Amino acid sequence: MVIAGDVATGILVVALSAAFLLSSLVSSNSDADALAVFRQSLSDPGGKFDSWDPTLDTPCTWFHITCNQENRVTRVDLGHSNLSGHLVPELGNIEFLQFLELHHNNIQGTIPVELGNLKNLVDLSLNHNSFSGVIPPTLGNLKNLLSLRLNDNHLTGHVPRAILENHNIKVLNVSNNDLSGPIPTTGPFEPFSLNNLEKRD
Ligand SMILES: *[C@@H]1O[C@H](CO)[C@@H](O)[C@H](O)[C@H]1NC(C)=O
Ligand SMILES: *[C@@H]1O[C@H](CO)[C@@H](O)[C@H](O)[C@H]1NC(C)=O
């Protein structure tokens, strides 16, 4: 009985270690999976994605990608990359992403609301593209966001209140869009200097 018990415990330990190993592999592959979908929705005449080999264990050696010590993706640096196409909701699955740099491309379509799931995001730079539609209010929920650059696109609607009321955001540029509605420039919104905000009156 005792021996059988030990064997059972041994099997349990082995099973648990396997599950732990598997879960850490699955999480770093989930970043790679999201990036693979992201890549598929974009046209890349400059070959920026050429080093993105899906057969590698992690995406951490891919060009334009940075990871933390746990092999989770923290940066995507693809500014000035001549990309066109659209963004996918799967970007919102890159749990540890801090910097999403996609400025100065020709990306179209809407900004996925799922970017509001990126709780670790510090800097979102989508400026100088062809994004249309509204600014997702979910971006206002991001407590670590310091810089939000959406200028020089074709965005419409209002700047969501949740963004204006998020005082962690130190740089907010929404200039050169097709936005409407009042944008406060005094009181709590003063850190956003007049130049950063489109004035429509
Ligand atoms: C950008 O891509 C277009 C094709 O979509 C190409 O004609 C142009 O030369 C590219 N520009 C640069 C700077 O790579
Ligand atoms: C905001 O964007 C506008 C338009 O591109 C630019 O002229 C201005 O310098 C930007 N402001 C900041 C603070 O980056």
Cβ 184 vs Cβ 159: under 8 Å: no
CA distance 191 to 21: 46
Q: What is the pLDDT of residue 190?
A: 42
pTM given for the model: 0.82
Q: What is the mean pLDDT of each run of 10 residues along the chain (201 residues)?
A: 55 56 62 97 98 94 97 98 98 98 98 98 98 98 97 97 95 96 54 41 30
The pair of three-digit structure tokens given for residue 39, joined into one six-digit string? 């890549």
Give 3-state DSSP helix, strand, coil % of the chain, rounded to 5. 30, 20, 50
Cα angle 183, 118, 167 (rounded to 5 degrees) comes to 35
What is the reported pLDDT for 193? 40
Phi, psi of 17 (to 5 degrees): -65, -40
Distance from residue 81's CA to the centre of ligand 1 (Å): 9
User: Closest-lying ligand to the alpha carbon of 43?
Assistant: 1
Q: Report how far apart, in Å, the C-alpha atoms of 106 and of each of 44, 71, 103, 133, 188 are.
A: 11, 30, 9, 15, 34
First-to-final CA distance of the chain: 84
Q: Which of 128, 131, 151, 171 to mutate to test the pocket of ligand 2 (most atoms within 8 A of CB)?
A: 151
pLDDT, residue 181, reads: 79
List, in order of start, the domains of the chain with CATH numbers: 2-196 (3.80.10.10)
Pocket lining: 27 vs ligand 1, CB cutoff 6 Å: no
CA proximity to 162, closest of 181, 143, 146: 143
45 lines ligand 1 (CB under 6 A): yes
